[in-house]
Structure 1
Amino acid sequence: MVQSILFFALGFLCAAFLVSLIAPAVWRRAVVLTRRRLEASMPLTPAEILAEKDRIRAEFAMNTRRLEMNIKSLKEKVAEQLVEIGRGQEALKGLAVEKKDKNQALSDLQAKNAELRLREEELHKLTEKLAQAERSLEKRALELQKLEQMYDEASFSSSNRQIELVARESELDKLANDIAVLRSQRKEADRRNQELAAESKAARDALKAEKKRTAELDKKVERLLATLADREENLDRREKELARMRERPRKDHAVNGGTHKADEVEGIDNAIAKLEGDRERLEVRLTALARENKRLKTDLAALETAQPEQAGDAPRASAALREQMNELAAEVVNLTMRLDGPDSPIAKALATPRDGRQDVGERGISLADRVRALQKANATN
């Protein structure tokens, strides 16, 4: 490493020594060449200096003369161009005036053309109007002839119309009398219509009342059906008890061999048979009453669409339905009382005296009276 550095330093020093030896000779040669170049480019004698000045003056004079000639030629060209520009401006002014004249002439021609078109249209319209006027004159002539004929006919028919007018006046008098009669008949018809309207209103009110009563009767039937169902349950229980009672005496009779209870068993059987007959009869009556109720509902529905004069049958049908329902209720109460036995509260209620203030004629037969009548009928049977 040190050796290479030493070799590099030695080479550098040798090169520097060689350069220091060669550099003065190279410098002297460069100075000589530079001096020769300067001497060749610059005059060294006064004659050469004067000659150089003359040459420069001559070149300046030639350049000045060239410039003067160029300026003169340019001035001439400018003058010619100004002349041409003036001529062009004059020509433009002439063209502008000519254009203005032509535009004015064109506008005049257009106005004349429009005026000619208007006149042509007016002429065409006048021609059409003239043709229409000729046609209307022909029509007027024909109409005038027709009017003359119509005038003749009208003058002829006016005499006939006067005769007819006299006859029509007599007919008008007759029609006035007929109108007076018809007005009196109309007043009578209006009065009858008012009476019919009042009757119709009364019938509608009665129909509403009957509907209300029918609804009440339906509710009453439902209550009676519920009561009947309860009583049937009680009757079934009583039948079961009676069946057990029948079985018990038979067993006692089989065990004891006695005959003193046979009459009692037979009486119980008869009572049961009678109760069953009453129940069957009551069921038949209830079925018939339900059918009657359905029929009355149908009649009421038909009565709503019928004439007001036919509304008088509804109260009678409703009264018949109420009567049947009251009879059915009395039979149900009687059957219940018989099922309950002598200790029934119904029997106690029937044993109380009647209220003498009840008006039978206005309110009808009461339920208690109906039950008492059924008891009497059963007692006689």
Structure 2
Amino acid sequence: MIEYALLFGLGFLTAAFLVFLVSPAVHRRIVWYTENRMRATMPLSPQEVRAQKDMVRALYAAENAKTTQHLLREREKSLALQLKHDSLALDAGRFAAEIAGLQAQISDMSVEAAEQRSHLRKDENYISQLKTSLHIAEKASAAKEGELDALRMRLNKLAEQADNLKIDLAARETEIESMTFKANAVRVERDNLSQDVGLLQKRAKDAEQTLAQHEHAVIRLEDQAGRDAASAADKDTLLGRRQQEIAKLKEQIKAANAELRKANSALRNAGLQPVAADAVSQERATGETMATELETAAIATRLSEEVRKRSAAVSKQLLKAKSDASHDGAIREEIAGIAASMVALTAMNEGPSSPIRDLLPDAPDNQDGERINLAQRAATILSEPG
């Protein structure tokens, strides 16, 4: 704490010492500025003093002249104001008289205004009555205008309906004309259709006759197919037996061939001539003949089954053909094919010695567009049995 006090005192003394050192220079500077100012403002010679006095006198004279002029102007203004005051007093008297007259007029006018108010109230009442009557009249006129508008709209609608009726009438007339043309066309078409119906009836009768003939032929073919099916069943049983016999013969041939090979090998080993195979070849030929017969029987069985199916299909088509005669050609071709198959089946069942084979052509050669007869069809089936 003492150290701070000592430092503060030391600083204060240092500042005082610095001020003591700087103060003479500052004092001299102030004195110099003051002397210069006084020299510049105060006269130093008599001429300057006289000049200043003359200047003061001139300033006083100028101010005195200005004051005199101002006083003269003020006097003139006061005189003008006095005159104006007098004139205003005269005007005020005149205005007072006028005001008195006006007040009298105002009183008279107030009386008249009261009368006018009474008349105005009466007029207002009358106007209100007129307004109510006018409002009623406006309502009535509005109602009449509404009725007139409704009548105008109704008249317009009636005019539109009349125009529409005229248009409909014209359209009906055109429709009637078109219907007459159509009726004439329908009459012509009816005549043509009646002619066509007559032709179709004739064709239907012819088709019914041909259908009856085809039905009889189909019945005959079905009977024959039944007989062929029975014979085919018998042949199937015979074929089974023959196949069993062929299997036994094949086994015997295999056994004989094996024994023959063993014997030939033994003879070769012994240096002797081997045994000829004539018996074996005969047995083989017999087996091949039996195999051919079995194949022919199988083909005949398959052909008879096919003929039976085709005949059933043709009978169904004939039943449908009673109502539709557009497939007569196809039905005829199918019946001809069934008949040719029956001929070929009969020839197969009778064997190579059948007389039917002599009646059939050897090489059927058909040209384009030429009709194929029954013999050619049967020959084609026999030439290609598979």
TM-score computed with the length of structure 1 as normaliser: 0.39
TM-score computed with the length of structure 2 as normaliser: 0.39
